[in-house]
Copies of this chain bind each other. A is one copy, B any other.
Amino acid sequence: MDKYAEQTRQEFEGWEEFYAKPVDEKLDFFKSDGRLFDIIYAQQFDREYLDYFCNLADMIRVMAKTKMGQKKLRHLLPHKRAMLYFVQPSTRTFLSFQNACYILGLSVSEIRGTTTSSEVKGESPEDTIRTFASYVNLIISRHPEAGFAEKMAWVLNQTERPVPVLNGGSGPDQHPTQALLDIYTLEREFSSVGGLDGKKIAMVGDLKRGRTVRSLSYLMKNYKDVTLYFVSPEIFKMKDDIKNFLDKHRIPFYETDDFEGIMPAVDAIYMTRIQNEYSEDPSSEAETHPQFHFKTKHLSMIHPHCVILHPLPRRYEIEVAVDNDPRAAYWRQERCGMWIRAALIAHIFKVGQEIFDEFS
């Protein structure tokens, strides 16, 4: 940290203190008029919000099937301007958010890459953020640093003209829209079998470092009678913090390294990337623990309604030929991300009700 950044921190005193608070204690700070304003943590979504966003995303998706519906959607927010500030590259998340904006008619400015010209000129991150807020109505950010999106929201909410911040991933742990899209995909795929409540879900791969499976596990407290199966090699086992959390909320979970053994038992298989930490040849399939891969031969071993998910990009974890099976839901899951992000943006700008009214 250089001298200038240090000075700034002193001025904006209180950030370190705020950041150190338990998540649950600061969720109100990201609300405005009693509703979600900034989207920073997956913990902001309780069951009511989860159901609401899944419903809203579904309505947007259905409206987008017709030309008339698409035009109505585009007329909801053409007067709003979003900023995509992606310091950490992520083509998938970027395109998903950008097209979610387009669906609702927003204009989009983008910064992709590691440095802005202002940073080069020595501007503080806080000033850069205030600058963005001068020009747009919504900031969607992705950043390698933990707490970055939260700090943006914290800075802006203290100014005369706060604009909402949508966390598109910051640091190793926070990626609330990914967690939300996973929930939406599961609810949608289970729509004919009673939804997510009561289901058995296997999470497979690198559970120790996997951001998506960790967030998803947290959100399970909102659903009834869910059972989790953690399937991984010994070195990539789910960490204790999550397991303690599940114990506290009385969510049963089982740990195993026998992937094929649990296949027939589960309603959903959430695959993730896996790779040896000190792999000498990262392009080698052998280094990616093939016994935790899903192959075509496994299709006959799983339930007729079992859903296969993956946050993508994949490498070897799922054989390409599996894509052709209707239970392979990961391409639909990707698209669900666009719909759920559109739902979030619609809610932030208070046009969710207008969408519901289309169906009344």
Q: Which residues of A contact B (CB under 8 A)?
A: 2-4, 7-8, 11-12, 67, 70-71, 74, 78-79, 81, 83, 89-92, 95-96, 98-99, 102-103, 107, 109, 111, 116-118, 120-124, 126-128, 130-132, 134-136, 159-160, 282-285, 312-316, 319-321, 323, 331, 334-335, 338
Q: Which of A3, A121, A132 has the most CB of B within 10 A?
A: A121
Interchain Cβ contacts under 8 Å between A and B, 12 examples: A11-B320, A71-B79, A81-B102, A91-B111, A95-B136, A96-B135, A98-B109, A118-B313, A123-B312, A134-B334, A135-B335, A160-B331
Q: Quickly give the copy total for this chain.
A: 3
Contact B283 A313 (CB under 8 A): no
Residues in B whose Cβ lies below 8 Å from that of A74: 78-79
Closest to A124 in B: B320
Top 4 closest pairs, chain A to chain B, by CB:
A70-B79, A11-B320, A123-B313, A89-B117
A116: chain B residues at CB < 8 Å are: 89, 91
Instruction: List chain B residues, Cβ under 8 A from A98.
Output: 109, 135
Q: A123-B314, A316-B4, A338-B135 are in contact. Are A99 and B118 (CB under 8 A)?
A: no
A342 → B minimal CB distance (Å): 11
